[in-house]
Chains A and B, each alone.
Chain A
Amino acid sequence: MRSRSNSSFSLIEVLIAIGILSTGIIFVFQSFTAALTATRLSQNITVACFLAQNKMWEIEEALKQGDFEEQGTEKLNEREFAWSAELDTFGAGDLKPLTFKVEWRERAGQKKNSLEFTTLVFKGI
């Protein structure tokens, strides 16, 4: 006959099991937070892409007159997006590479994110 202590779980065993379970649940909770953060990031990327498309059109238009704005900030949906543009005027031809960068902060300003776009724009004379 097996002794009693072997036939069921002791309190210590159960407590350890709960401890392991709660560690697991903490990771489950963390995954929700991570999902929310990732959502926020991808939403901001969407907004940054709209901003970049709009500004790059403005820059291309401004280039027809000569000069363009090289940097600025835009407040979209209560978040600051800083952008900067750089035109590489070297190289042959009328099409020049334009590099456009958008930067913003997430998680109460702790994390800095940025996106960079490059396109060819028409630069006559």
Chain B
Amino acid sequence: MPRKRISGFTLMEVLVATSIFAVVVVSIYSAFHTGMQAYRKVDASFGIYQTARLVFARIESDLRNSFVYTEDDSRFTGTADSFNLLSVLPSYDNSGKASLNICRVKYAMQDGGFARSLFKGLEAFKEGPKDEPQTLSSSIKAVSFEYAFSKREFSETYEWQDSWPKRDEEEQKKSLPLAVKIKLSIEEAAQKADSKTKARIVEFIRVVSLPQESLVK
């Protein structure tokens, strides 16, 4: 009876169908898998560039709004791994109205990573009030700052130094550095927790110039 032959698949047919199905499923799976891997890779490597841009923008805005406090003390102090400055920052009340405030801003490496501390109002002028650092990024592994100094004489060009003010330099205490060079070493987030590959560290350098003209008399 021919009916019996039509009603089922032969072993060969089933094997061929299964292997074709397997080929299709494996290729679709590998496409998704590669897609996920590519996404993780891009996300991890892009994260460091995002961090760099964000942190530079933050520091830049503070440095560009800095000012000299009094004629004999600019209140800008800096070392190779941290700096303090007075800056003007906007703050917002409950109705969303903005006002400008004088704040002391401190950038330094803290336990949780690279952090910014803000001292508002009178705290800005006190020595050592309680520090409440706000971590900017925990993936920043190292920072280094340099300060440009120029004697402002026509033939003199600027020089980079690793602290501000340099010892025994009264003139530097009175003024702001010409510019601050910021070096950030940012570590790429691990793609897998147990990854044995060494984390990639990318270094970024940015030079930010500071307002100077008020000093010229």
Residues of A within 8 A of B (CB): 4, 11, 14, 18, 21-22, 25, 28-29, 32, 35-36, 39, 43, 46-47, 50, 53-54, 57-58, 61-62, 64-65, 76-77
Contacts and interface: CB of A to CB of B under 8 A. Distances in A.
B158 A61 contact: yes
Interface in B31-81: 31, 34-35, 38, 41-42, 45-46, 49, 52-53, 56
Contacts of B45: 39, 43
Interface in B171-209: 178-179, 181, 202-207, 209
A21 B24 contact: yes
A22 B178 CA distance: 60
Nearest to A55: B207
Given A25-B28, A46-B53, A50-B205, 11 more contacts: A4-B6, A21-B24, A29-B34, A35-B42, A47-B204, A50-B52, A50-B206, A53-B207, A54-B206, A61-B178, A77-B203
17 contacts: A14-B20, A21-B24, A22-B27, A28-B31, A32-B35, A39-B42, A46-B49, A46-B53, A50-B204, A53-B206, A58-B207, A61-B150, A61-B158, A65-B154, A65-B155, A65-B156, A76-B203
B41 A36 contact: yes
Interface of B: 6, 16, 20, 23-24, 27-28, 31, 34-35, 38, 41-42, 45-46, 49, 52-53, 56, 148, 150, 154-158, 178-179, 181, 202-207, 209
Contacts, number: 65
